[in-house]
Amino acid sequence: MTEGAWVLLVACGLDLTFGEPPNVAHPVAWMGRAIAWVHHSGRRRAPAGAFLLGSVGVVGGVAVVAGIAWGLLVLLAQAPAALRVCTEAVLFKSTVSLRRLLGAAEEVRHALEQADLAEARSQLGHHLVSRPTQDLSPDEVASATVESLAENFTDAVVAPILWFVLLGIPGALAYRFVNTADAVLGYRDAEREWLGKPAARLDDVFNWVPARLATLFLLASGWLLGASILDGLRVWHRDSGTTASPNAGQTMATMAGLLRVQLTKRGQYALGDQLSPLTARTIVRAQRLVGAAMALAVGWGIGALALLGR
């Protein structure tokens, strides 16, 4: 295998074995603190000033993160290959979240199986979604969990791998900065409407190809696990463009079709058809689909790096 392939494999192994490091040692937490400063500085600005600050913040942040990563790679260029692989794997691991994504869904599933709706809502709101969860029904909790699994498969797995394949560690970390900035600032409230627009639009660009690649991985995993590929394709074609995001609907609609369920967010979208009930079991099926798709994505990344000789 190539050195880049080893980096990808070791990073995913670290993630699956150890999960997330504490925030004090997590590069994404450091990014979050920098972005929080931008939020604090821009929340009382006029729209034009907020937009300018948001633009400078996200573009400048990408430049700083990618520059630091590039500089570190230059310093490591003459180091032993094992040291380079281990260092890059630790950095790349900070951009992917395989274990955390599946584990968060498992917490919600367990609470639903125990008929503890309050705990299921709490776990959902704490780990997976930003929408209010206090009045969601069991069906809506299951739906939101499946939606989050599908959408975050792009953000937490496929996009970092793709950007690593294309641009190495600087590309993966730059993507993670943009995605984190969108997660912190990309809301249409009074404080962040204009401040977060640059991050939100840049995140749309960075995720456009990964979201569609993730859809292919989900369809392939559905085929391997015996799901209805035709339903997945049909619902993807019909419903993927009905979400506000140009990317989130790609994997969510595909997942709805593969599971033969309807995934809904009040007042915003309804993806798929109500052919099967939404239960804790639905979350298990979604976890299996995403887990298989994760394996396919990692395998694709290793193959792509080998073809590129990286």
pLDDT digits (tens, 9 = 90+) for 105-143: 999 999 999 999 999 999 999 999 989 999 999 999 999
- Residues 45-54: contacts with CB under 8 Å, at least 24 apart: 45/195, 47/193, 47/194, 48/194, 50/193, 50/194, 50/195, 51/194, 51/195, 51/197, 51/198, 53/195, 54/185, 54/194, 54/195, 54/196, 54/197, 54/198, 54/199
174 strand-pairing partners: none
Q: Give CA–CA dist 95/180, Å, rounded.
A: 10
pLDDT for position 44: 84
Which range marks the domain in which residue 139 is found? 3-308
Residue 235, CB half-sphere, CA atoms under 13 Å: how many? Answer: 29
| 3-state SS, residue 50 | helix
pLDDT for position 194: 95
pLDDT for position 219: 99
Q: Which class for 80: exposed (0-12), middle (13-18), buried (19 or more C-beta within 10 A)? A: exposed
pLDDT digits (tens, 9 = 90+) for 47-101: 999 999 999 999 999 999 999 999 999 999 999 999 999 999 999 999 999 999 9
pTM score > 0.85 for this model? yes
Asked whether the predicted pLDDT for residue 307 surpasses 90, the reply is yes
pLDDT for position 223: 98
Mean per-residue pLDDT over the chain, rounded: 97
pLDDT digits (tens, 9 = 90+) for 157-216: 999 999 999 999 999 999 999 999 999 999 988 889 999 999 999 999 999 999 999 999
pLDDT for position 241: 96
DSSP string, 121-177: HHHHHHHT--S--TT--HHHHHHHHHHHHHHHHIIIIIHHHHHHHHHHHHHHHHHHH
Please check whether residue 66 is in contact with residue 88, taking contact to mean a CB–CB distance below 8 angstroms: no
Give residue 170's identity as a one-letter amino acid code. P
pLDDT for position 189: 86
262 strand-pairing partners: 272
- Sign, CA dihedral 282-288-294-300, equals negative
DSSP string, 242-276: SSSSTTHHHHHHHHHHHHT-EEEETTTEEEE--SS
Give residue 245's identity as a one-letter amino acid code. S
Instruction: Over range 256-281, report the average pLDDT.
Output: 96
- Which tokens in the block code for residue 241? 């463009």
Number of neighbours of residue 81 by Cβ within 10 angstroms: 10
The structural domain count of the chain equals: 1
Instruction: Over range 230-249, report the average pLDDT.
Output: 97
pLDDT digits (tens, 9 = 90+) for 133-163: 999 999 999 999 999 999 999 999 999 999 9
Number of neighbours of residue 204 by Cβ within 10 angstroms: 17
pLDDT for position 190: 82
Q: Give CA–CA dist 84/234, Å, rounded.
A: 45
